Amino acid sequence: MSAQLVLICGGRGTRWPGRQPGVPKSMVELAGEPIVARLWRQLRALHTSSAPPIVVVAAGDVMVPAFVTETIPSAIVVTQSRPDGVANAVRLALPHLSGPALVVLGDIVLDGELSAPPPSPPAVVIWPEAPPAATVRNFGVRIDRDGAAAAVFEKPTDTTGLLCGLGLYWLTPEVIDRFGAAPVNPSTGEREITAALGFAMQTTRFGVWHFAGRYFNLNTAADFDEAERILQGT
């Protein structure tokens, strides 16, 4: 089964004090290269579709499109006109999909590998070896007795019985389309990805795809500093 890679690069890095202003999160350099460049280098082999990769960017972002033009010239760049949630950003790729997509948040850092072969889509990527603190900072996945992802919980305070979910999602066009009916967060007005996944799980079976290694979700300057230190081996 072929896979199409979709990179979601809409983050602005506003919670990273001390970083260069105006640089999108995905273009901030970590261990000597932009985060999105690292992701593309690591995951490009998983793009097996004859259709092009897709990169979703924020309105006004010129850095990521320039990177795509130089590094991934075959990719389609789609602009999100305003910040309205990751689930809505993923839906912008829908007209350009020819089949299943590995959707990757452009501000995550991977130091490891996904298991092979991939499961049948849809599936969420989990990190079975994650410490509870990592699950609290990401999202928890509850697995049922048949091995399916039964429910997801954003930044759970109690991680009992939960595995750590990561910012990679192995999705079908049908599931992505269903995101459009998922609830919107009334506080932010955005359609968030964890809520959309949980909504889709009510009617569709999700498998799990295992990741082994180390994973960093960069939300703060402290997250960045920790990732930099570990990846540089200092």
Residue 196 CB neighbour total at 10 angstroms:
28
Write down the pLDDT at residue 18. 54
Q: What is the pTM of this model?
A: 0.95
Give CA–CA dist 184/198, Å, rounded: 13
Tokens representing 132? 């509870």
Q: Is the dihedral of CA 153, 3, 77, 106 positive or negative?
A: positive
Ordered domains of the chain (ranges, CATH): 4-232 (3.90.550.10)
List residues bridging with 33 in a β-sheet.
30
Per-residue pLDDT of the chain (234 residues; tens, 9 = 90+): 899 999 999 866 555 555 666 789 899 998 889 999 999 999 999 999 999 999 999 999 999 999 999 999 999 999 999 999 999 999 999 999 999 999 999 999 999 999 999 999 999 999 999 999 999 999 999 999 999 999 999 999 999 999 999 999 999 999 999 999 999 999 999 999 999 999 999 999 999 999 999 998 887 778 888 888 888 875
Write down the pLDDT at residue 55. 98
Cis peptide before 117 (omega within 30 of 0): yes
Give CA–CA dist 29/48, Å, rounded: 27
